[in-house]
Structure 1
Amino acid sequence: MVSVAADIGMGSAAPSVPQQRHRRGLITLLALAAVAMTIAVSGVVFSEPAPVDALTMGLIVLLPVIGLVHFTPTLVSFAALWLLAATGALLGMAFSQDLSGTGIHVAVTLYLYAACAVLAAFVAYDPPRHARLLLNAWSFAALVAASAALLGYFHIIPGGYELFTEYGRATGTFKDPNVFAPFLIVPLLYLINVALERPARGMVLPLALAAILTLGVFFSFSRGAWINLALSLALYGYLLLVTTRKARVRLKLLSLLLLGALFAALAVMAALSSNEISSLLLQRASFDQSYDLGEEGRFGGQEKALGMIAEKPLGIGALEFGQRYHPEAAHNVYLTMFLNSGWLGGGTYLLLVLLSLVFGMRFAMRGTEIRPMFLAVYAAFVGTAGEGIIIDSDHWRHFYVLMALLWGMMAAEYSSSGRAIVAGDGAKRDKRNARGRRAPRLLASAGEGKGPAKPRRLPTIVGAQVPAT
């Protein structure tokens, strides 16, 4: 009878454990493919909303539902801060005179905040694998965008110049060169990190790809992106030199520094040989443009914004400053956030950036297995946060992915549950001391004056047993 019932689907037994694992594995694989696809198309932003927006909103729902997120106490606090910033944005919207435009802007803002929190929890679920998945997909997107930009800029493909440039500046698959160029910097540093992890003969491909991205940044003629790249590269090189214990890595890094300087010099010389490129290069390298100076210029607008922030603690609403109070936006993301979301939203945003900088530097000094990859992410974050002083980056999709990577990797290591980052482990597993102590060493370190502890094998939460870079 049981077999008959099973045949007609009325009394089928529960799936066996292997079947459940197979289904779970298939669902996970499809979800990871969806994440990779979302990041891979994030470099195609000819207009807004872009394809990445629809896919990202799907991930916000999908990843928690199937359990591919790990909200540590750190990430709960991280999400709570974004919720606080969102509250400020909603309060500021009440003072807008254009509720339709402001409402759309705020809706995008809220979705980006939610995406940042969920992606951070996704990274924290399995930092080595999930962070690398995001960075690999991001590198693919950046290479597509940069290749399109260069092919169009040099008239290699018919119609490419009109499609992939704007006012003589490379834009690739973006609508704005000032967003296109910063998008390339994270993958650029990541590819350098990949090259340094490989033997000498395996460095050629990632370095060649990094060179393509560098040219994309250069021919965007974005002053902010140039500063961003210079700051990010300098910080990455410094952090790697002071944290690595391997002379081989230091030697390769110094060699890359010399080769990079030579490559940059040759690129500038080649650019100056063209009258059209050299004139644009000299123009963009100057910081005394007509639109920068005067009361109605960029700097005058920022001074005006400061006064309004002091007078309007709840903000004036998104987009209002550039539409009603000044000919253009403030061109400073921190001022813009205070204008859009008041002291609550702007202060929370600024706090999140500062916490990222401080905690990120502390984490960079820890001997975790993901430190080389983290250094590339952190250095790029510092450069991007610095560029925010001269541009409005509050709706840069890649900025929130970058922050999610940063906090996801940090949160997994700082988890109060005593979990450790274990390569190839899927999720984090509790790593106990070999003697079976119930509390991890990190929690027991604030002892009761019993003197220095005897040398013993430390749990992985302090990173002592992770190979140094």
Structure 2
Amino acid sequence: MSSPATASASTLARFDLRSGIRKSAAHRIALVLVWLTIAASSIVFTEPAPVDALTIGLMILLPVVGLVEAKPMLWAGFAVVLTMTACGEISAALARETGIAVSHMTVSLYLVAAWFLFAAFIAKEPERHTRLVLNAYLLTGILAAICGIAGYLDLFPGAFDLFTRYGRASGPFKDPNVFGPFLVAPLLTALHLWLIRPPRRGLLPLLAAAILAVGILFSFSRGAWAAAAIGFAIYGYVYAITADTNRQRAKLVALVLFGIAALGLILTAALQSEAISDLLEQRAALTQSYDEGPDGRFGGQMKAVGLILENPLGIGSAIFTRFYHHEEVHNVYLSMFLNAGWIGGLLYLMTCTGTLVFGFRHVFKKSATSPLFLIAFAALAGNICEGVLIDSDHWRHFYLLLALVWGMMAASPRQARPARILGDRRPILLQRPLLIPPSRRLARIVAPMRRSIGLEPVSKSTGKIPGWRRDRGRIIAPA
């Protein structure tokens, strides 16, 4: 008969068949809380949001239960973004209103810490943890899109006032310009599920993709439209190149054709409403009335460029709208130069461009996480490009996507470089002795081997290297 202690231990621990290790109750509870945190990330009626309280709790819980693994690559990236944040704090200390600037940079510091936490969480078990995050993200994205559609169409009393802003769908967000880009990653996830599943199991992902696409459309955010187009273009290009069979490529082509036809039908139906057609025509224009003139968006950006050149240390966060222009810069890269000075702005620009470059290289590596990485990278690339049109430095989902990409890249095993020193075919007496020791990662000398000087112990009795022998004038390495 088992003792109470044994029974308690068997109750608190479960054997995970996939990973082959025992998962404690605390371990499983932590995973549930991660799922809930991601699922709550779309509820942003107020600041701070519920997701912030959950994230701060995870900052304590995940390291305690051992669900994070900080790889060297993550520490390097963390050092870069911390330096960028420190530059912002220095700029805030010199700002005309220090309190507002410091408060803004404190939020940036929290988001950087959240990025590092989720990246280390992904690096611990890349495939399982990424699937957990994307599944929760897909569900909350669908619910947010349904709220946005219901609000825009005013499907129930109070829906329009609750889920729209400026006459555009915003869902449970305060700004439709954040609501739209938030749905890009769930949209790509749903399309990916349709591509990899058989036709009978692909109906639900296709329905989810349709809901998410309509949500993005009704946000009437030009940046969200661009982010979705860029994200799908990257996903489709890489998927077509890396697909194993032509059947998979044909399914992708069918998806593109079906999407174009469905979009045409949706636009045709939407244009039947005069209000929708007017708003769609207005938002589809390349420039708006508020973009032009010295007080418009472009005029504000020119003011920002002048301030950047005059202030190497920056002017402080949230100062531009209080003293220099009536609205934000609408360009996150210019904003970072204003908020954190030349050094901080360059570090932010290097972080984004470096993520795109190294992520695009990583996306072609075959691994169990390749499809998941492609989804996260394509969505992140769309959001990074959208930064040219809007200030995205405080978007929570941006840092989540950044964490997914960095976490999977950091967890990827490094590939050994190929051999660079080839065998010397000349007679023994004409060969040069090797003075550089071979790499520990991969042997760089191929047979016939050459005797190394000072690299092997020499027997005091015989004066020879143990294990080495001579055959027909050649020195043969031990097997």
Provide the TM-score with structure 2 as the length reference: 0.83
RMSD: 2.3
Contact 2:93 2:102 in 1 (8 A): no
Segment drifting more, 137-146 vs 385-394 = 137-146
Tell me what 1:147 maps to: 146
Offset from partner CA, 1:207-235 (integer Å, 9 cap, x none): 11011000000011001111111111111
Tell me what 2:70 maps to: 71
The verdict on how the C-alpha distance between 1:146 and 1:24 changes in structure 2, with shifts beyond 3 A counting, is same
Segment drifting more, 110-119 vs 14-23 = 14-23
Q: In structure 2, what residue type is equivalent to 1:443?
A: R
- Give the deviation of 1:153 after TM superposition: 1.5
Tell me what 1:365 maps to: 364
Tell me, in whole angstroms, the C-alpha distance in 2 between the residues paired with 1:397 and 1:82: 15
- Give the deviation of 1:16 after TM superposition: 9.5
Contact 1:73 1:416 in 2 (8 A): no
Q: In structure 2, what residue type is equivalent to 1:313?
A: P
Tell me what 1:224 maps to: 223
Tell me what 2:45 maps to: 46
Tell me, in whole angstroms, the C-alpha distance in 2 between the residues paired with 1:442 and 1:310: 49
What are the ranges of 5 or more consecutive residues in structure 2 without an aligned counterpart? 15-21, 418-438, 449-479
Structure 1 runs of 4+ off > 3 angstroms? 13-24, 414-418, 448-451
SS at match of 1:444: coil
Tell me, in whole angstroms, the C-alpha distance in 1 between the residues paired with 2:56 and 2:382: 27
Tell me, in whole angstroms, the C-alpha distance in 1 between the residues paired with 2:370 and 2:363: 6
Contact 1:188 1:214 in 2 (8 A): yes
Tell me what 1:188 maps to: 187
Contact 1:193 1:373 in 2 (8 A): no
Tell me what 2:455 maps to: none
> Identity rate of aligned residues, in percent?
47
Tell me, in whole angstroms, the C-alpha distance in 2 between the residues paired with 1:72 and 1:415: 12
Q: In structure 1, what residue type is equivalent to 2:442?
A: A
What are the ranges of 5 or more consecutive residues in structure 1 without an aligned counterpart? 1-5, 8-12, 419-440, 452-469
SS at match of 1:37: helix
SS at match of 1:58: helix
Tell me, in whole angstroms, the C-alpha distance in 1 between the residues paired with 2:8 and 2:147: 50
Tell me what 1:424 maps to: none
Tell me what 1:260 maps to: 259
The verdict on how the C-alpha distance between 1:24 and 1:259 changes in structure 2, with shifts beyond 3 A counting, is closer
The verdict on how the C-alpha distance between 1:339 and 1:237 changes in structure 2, with shifts beyond 3 A counting, is same
Mapped pair 1:161 → 2:148: no
Tell me what 1:317 maps to: 316
Tell me, in whole angstroms, the C-alpha distance in 2 between the residues paired with 1:153 and 1:54: 29
Segment drifting more, 237-246 vs 173-182 = 237-246
Q: Which has the larger radius of gyration?
A: 2
Contact 1:171 1:220 in 2 (8 A): yes
Tell me, in whole angstroms, the C-alpha distance in 2 between the residues paired with 1:249 and 1:234: 16
Provide the TM-score with structure 1 as the length reference: 0.85
Offset from partner CA, 1:78-114 (integer Å, 9 cap, x none): 1111211121111111122222222221111100001
SS at match of 1:317: coil
Tell me, in whole angstroms, the C-alpha distance in 1 between the residues paired with 2:399 and 2:440: 30
Mapped pair 1:28 → 2:27: yes
Mapped pair 1:205 → 2:238: no
Tell me what 1:444 maps to: 442
- Give the deviation of 1:21 after TM superposition: 4.5
Tell me, in whole angstroms, the C-alpha distance in 2 between the residues paired with 1:233 and 1:292: 27
Mapped pair 1:279 → 2:278: yes
Superposition map of 1:400-419 within 5 A: 400-414=399-413
Tell me, in whole angstroms, the C-alpha distance in 2 between the residues paired with 1:290 and 1:231: 26
Tell me what 1:103 maps to: 102
Contact 1:377 1:405 in 2 (8 A): yes
Q: In structure 1, what residue type is equivalent to 2:90?
A: L
- Give the deviation of 1:167 after TM superposition: 2.2
SS at match of 1:330: coil
- Give the deviation of 1:15 after TM superposition: 11
Tell me what 1:456 maps to: none
